[in-house]
Amino acid sequence: MKTKTVFSCSSCGYQSPKWLGRCPDCNSWNSFTEEDYTAPSSGTKERASLYKDGPVLLKDVVARDEDRLKTNVPELDRVLGGGIVKGSVILIGGDPGVGKSTISLQVSNHLTAQGNSVLYVSGEESVAQTKLRAKRLGESGSDKLYIVNQTDLSLIVEYIKKLKPQAVIIDSIQVIFDPAISSSPGSVSQVRECAGVLTQLAKTTDTSIFIIGHVTKEGALAGPRVLEHIVDTVLYFEGDRFAIYRILRAVKNRFGSTNEIGVFEMGPHGLSEVKNPS
């Protein structure tokens, strides 16, 4: 199959056969990067097959507040609007070392302590390294927490379908790749496609998915801007990595308010809540 070269806007994902100084779609300057492009193959049919349900009347749909998973981290539950909505996709962004992986692993421990199964997909650490970090954060030894070191999206989808966990942690989206796309992991095409597949899987299986994303030096999430539009909730971890306090802020939340913030303190055993920030 012949591979072509395209230029993709890192802000919105717009593609052009030649380099442009300004994106005609989002008007961003110097945002085009070169990528390899391969025509869609059979993977397109596989993704489309995730949708199997037909239209239903809105008045016949039953939605209950108890369909939320409580993380037992009140600061996080409040920012999310009362807990994790089943089938939702939550994007967590922040600077390196701010605590994204730490809070994700702590949430995994809390969820498994309640009897929920969790799959933690680490693309940046080995299973042994993740085990050491979990032990430092107070791992409960639950038989409901699964850990895998994998970056191939097709295998990750297979694991989710096989284990049927209530929650999945993807750490991080920038290292996950779809083998059907020839561009490198972290590129605009890869991030957009991987996030789209994971979002469709979450909606069709009622699996809540946490996606960890890196930020650029300007403080924006790395990857296409469309990534924030695909997911249901966008959380930002703010704070100096050399200071002890962290602020968790929701900049987008389809199931709650964006006016709440959570304050945490980083310690030797992970993040702990600051109940009275004043």
Which amino acid type is present at position 133?
R
Which two structure tokens, joined as six digits, stand for 66? 């108890």
- What integer pLDDT is reported at residue 235 of this predicted model? 94
The mean pLDDT of 72-95, rounded to a whole number, is 93
Residues in contact with 115: Cβ distance below 8 Å, sequence separation at least 6, in sequence order: 144
The yes-or-no verdict on residue 25 having pLDDT over 90 is: no
The backbone torsions φ and ψ at residue 177, rounded to the nearest 5 degrees and listed phi first, read -135, 150
> Three-class SS string for 162-222?
HHCCCEEEEECHHHCECCCCCCCCCCHHHHHHHHHHHHHHHHHHCCEEEEEEEECCCCCEC
Which amino acid type is present at position 98?
V
The closest alpha carbon to 147, from 164, 170, 166, belongs to: 170
The closest alpha carbon to 251, from 241, 266, 237, 239, belongs to: 237
> 145-197: per-residue pLDDT in tens?
999 999 999 999 999 999 999 999 999 899 999 998 888 888 888 888 899 99
- What integer pLDDT is reported at residue 231 of this predicted model? 94
Give pTM, 2 decimals: 0.84
Residues in contact with 229: Cβ distance below 8 Å, sequence separation at least 6, in sequence order: none
The mean pLDDT of 193-202, rounded to a whole number, is 93
Residues in contact with 230: Cβ distance below 8 Å, sequence separation at least 6, in sequence order: 89, 192, 195, 196, 199
- What integer pLDDT is reported at residue 173 of this predicted model? 93
The yes-or-no verdict on residue 19 having pLDDT over 80 is: yes
The mean pLDDT of 228-257, rounded to a whole number, is 90
- What integer pLDDT is reported at residue 45 of this predicted model? 47
Q: Worst-scoring range by mean pLDDT, 28-42, 180-194, 238-252?
A: 28-42
Vertex 73: Cα angle to 70 and 75 (nearest 5): 110
- What integer pLDDT is reported at residue 222 of this predicted model? 64
Residues in contact with 50: Cβ distance below 8 Å, sequence separation at least 6, in sequence order: 200, 201, 204
d(CA 206, CA 167): 9
Mean pLDDT of the chain: 86
- What integer pLDDT is reported at residue 224 of this predicted model? 65
Fold classified for 64-273 = Rossmann fold (3.40.50)
- Token pair 């942690």 is found at 169
Which two structure tokens, joined as six digits, stand for 186? 């972290």
The yes-or-no verdict on residue 228 having pLDDT over 50 is: yes
> 106-144: per-residue pLDDT in tens?
999 999 999 999 999 999 999 999 998 888 887 767 789
Domain boundaries, the chain: 1-39, 64-273
Residues paired with residue 238 on neighbouring β-strands, in sequence order? 247
- What integer pLDDT is reported at residue 241 of this predicted model? 74
- What integer pLDDT is reported at residue 184 of this predicted model? 83
Taking residue 115's Cβ as centre, other Cβ atoms within 10 Å add up to: 9
- What integer pLDDT is reported at residue 38 of this predicted model? 65
- What integer pLDDT is reported at residue 39 of this predicted model? 61
The yes-or-no verdict on residue 63 having pLDDT over 50 is: yes
Q: Beta strand pairing status for 208-214 and 167-171?
A: parallel
